Structure 1
């Protein structure tokens, strides 16, 4: 075996040191560049905030409102990343529903329904919305108020407006968030929500808050963060305002005949239950559909004919106004059924 001389060893150590040094220098250069880019974004963001403040003053917001709302405004890189890379779930309803509505959540929904039954019944009667749907929405949106999001809403909306891809939309939401603050419904530091600015236990965007939030407990604030009365009534008011019916359910899972024409599927096609039955659609157990002439429904196939298929009633359409996702609506409907028929 050939021995290394001291001079050869020194050359090897020197080369290794130079290589390591090169890597370190490259890393430091990249790090410095990233830091400069971050500083540049922060400077541009703060300039944008100043521009927004001037514009808001011109629109009639008070200096006090703006000072409070923007006192700790910050740029959320995470909000931009989430907005650009919203996940596409490669699931079917059969795999999604057990995740969205596990047994523990269904049990908790029944417990919450019983805990707030008097208040829920009162609100349900006033707005014409079955209480089980209020609880189901509450459970799916924020796990019954236990997770409403930790983002500062003003910062999140300002960040997404600054990002520029949907500036007009997020600026509109920001102005309405400022109105909510100026009207005294919530202090800015308590105005927490999702990365996109959805707020409180109902996860209302500011525009939905302005249109549908309710001060049910009459304390002068529409508090969808802390007041059960305001939370439940706001959800019920939303549903009532978009065509909810309290005399029907949301829909039902059905069986299609072998040769069903799938071009008839979709919420734009409405037929009476008798018409769908003539086309061979039955309940899951093969029995006839309900004999009601006052119900029109659509066939909804979220995955394919081999997966779950629903007859969607008017309340399905109302839930789609809340969140335009068939999976979301199916989860809310499924949880409402678990409350109605606890196991």
Structure 2
């Protein structure tokens, strides 16, 4: 497990809390965890330093229970994660950290553009690390009445070991409500297994050392069996009437199988790839489609969702100078980039709607404002940040 607030696997934990203990139980729970921590080699001094002043955090429980009400269409998901702004920021970040990326690529055998794409999607190249204190969040989840408390207790113990070893200062251990942290959003147990000290300073610091963060990500992908020289795949053209029930990352066949069904490269030429490959059709037979190799599975393992893997894959292509998705998404309402979403929020603010700071992140306030605009214009109520609403709001 690696991911943070946008991580799909952790979102699946939503709704797991059944009861919330009395606040008086929190200290007793922590005392019990201290015994486990001591048995795992965490000193009493380190435990006290890590847990001093922490409190049971209702916000963590609220976030863990919150079910997402809005299902993001794949075209909106991709537009927000793989836009021109992120590509340009990524190319600049790669130039600034060229040596670290080259070392990670050489040492672990993972393409630097894929490493950088994970970095970009997970934290916007180190800009968005998450602000929730890890020890407090994980202690809250470990001491609450949910069926995953043993999982979170394990993650808390892993966090305490990080502190005991001195790799990362406790004050720098912030992240998502569920415990993912650092520039490429590792869960603490994943950190324990796979984090590396790429910069050679004796600490595995995935928070403040970009070299350690990208090196650790490369090590993760190597462990997930990334094979350099193969690539993740490429966009393809499906024949008319293609049965999308045959598509999916796990439904891999030799290239000849897909060729016999009429699948071609975008220019109509024959497919080429080594080993079994699958076909992704995330928007159905009328949308863009992609041939994916076993390297796509390595990306997928970082955060188990095909849409997430596709965002990483396409961003990696664009960082190396290749084109993004070429086929049109099956929608008559164009998706918005982050810059366009910020523009949308500015226009909503001018109309008197409270959407908070225009940051391009579409939350509940922005969606409610969009619905109000849609209602006033007689449009279907979707709450979706699309081109039609942006145009309707004017300049």
TM-score, normalisation: structure 2: 0.73
Q: Distance in 2 between matches of 1:88 and 1:334?
A: 27
Quote the residue 2:285 is aligned against. Answer: 305
Contact 1:255 1:282 survives alignment (8 Å) = yes
Alpha-carbon deviations, 1:258-286, whole Å to 9, x = none?
23233322232221223211211112333
> Matches of residues 31-180 of structure 1 in structure 2 within 5 Å?
41-87=22-68, 89-165=70-146, 166-180=148-162
* Aligned counterpart, 1:295: 275
Residue 25 of structure 1: aligned partner: none
Which of 207, 224, 237 in structure 1 is aligned with 2:189?
A: 207
What is the distance in 2 between the residues matched to 1:88 and 1:113? 36
Q: Where does residue 334 of structure 1 map in the other structure?
A: 314
Partner residue of 1:216?
Answer: 198
Cα distance, 1:129–1:170 mapped onto 2, change above 3 Å: same
Task: Give the SS at the match of 1:246.
Answer: coil
How much does 1:89 deviate? Answer: 4.4
Give the conservation status (yes or no) of the 8 Å contact 2:105–2:111. yes
With over 3 angstroms needed to count, the CA separation of the structure-2 counterparts of 1:86 and 1:231, relative to structure 1, is farther
Deviation at 1:245, TM superposition (A): 1.2
CA distance in 2 between partners of 1:126 and 1:46 (Å)? 45
CA positional deviation for 1:93: 2.0
For the pair shown, which has the larger CA radius of gyration, 1 or 2? 1
Structure 1 Cα separation of the partners of residues 307 and 294 of structure 2: 17
Which 4+ runs in 1 deviate beyond 4 A?
none
CA distance in 2, matches of 1:59, 1:112: 38
Evaluate the alpha carbon distance shift between residue 118 and residue 313 of structure 1 in structure 2; reply closer, same or farther with a 3 A threshold.
same
Give 3-state SS (helix, strand or coil) of 2:314's partner: helix
Partner of 1:269: 251
For the Cα contact (< 8 Å) 1:110–1:342, is it kept in 2?
no
CA RMSD of aligned residues (A): 2.0
Contact 2:57–2:136 (CA under 8 A) maintained in structure 1: yes
Q: Is the 8 A contact 2:37 2:157 kept in 1?
A: yes
Q: Considering fraction of residues, name the structure with more helix.
A: 1
Q: State the distance in 2 between where 1:91 and 1:286 align.
A: 31
How far did 1:330 drift? 1.2
1:24 alignment partner in structure 2: none
Paired with 1:306 and 1:251, the residues of 2 have a C-alpha distance of: 19
Q: 2:346 maps to which residue?
A: none
TM-score (norm 1): 0.83
Question: 2: distance between equivalents of 1:338 and 1:89?
Answer: 28
In structure 1, distance between residues paired with 2:322 and 2:265: 20
- Give 1:158 deviation, angstroms: 0.9
Aligned length, in residue pairs: 304
Q: Which runs of 5+ in 1 are unaligned?
A: 1-37
Spell out, residue by residue over 1:18-37, the C-alpha distance to the aligned partner (whole angstroms, 9 max, x if none).
xxxxxxxxxxxxxxxxxxxx
SS, match of residue 95 in structure 2: helix
Change (3 A) 1:88 1:240: farther
- Decide which moves more: 223-232 or 278-287: 278-287
- For the Cα contact (< 8 Å) 1:94–1:308, is it kept in 2? no
> How far, CA to CA, are the matches of 1:162 and 1:303 in structure 2?
41
8 A Cα contact 1:244 1:315, kept in partner: yes
Q: Is the 8 A contact 1:121 1:131 kept in 2?
A: yes
Matched residues in 2 for 1:288 and 1:173: separation?
48
Query: Conserved in 2, the CA contact under 8 Å of 1:141 and 1:202?
Result: yes
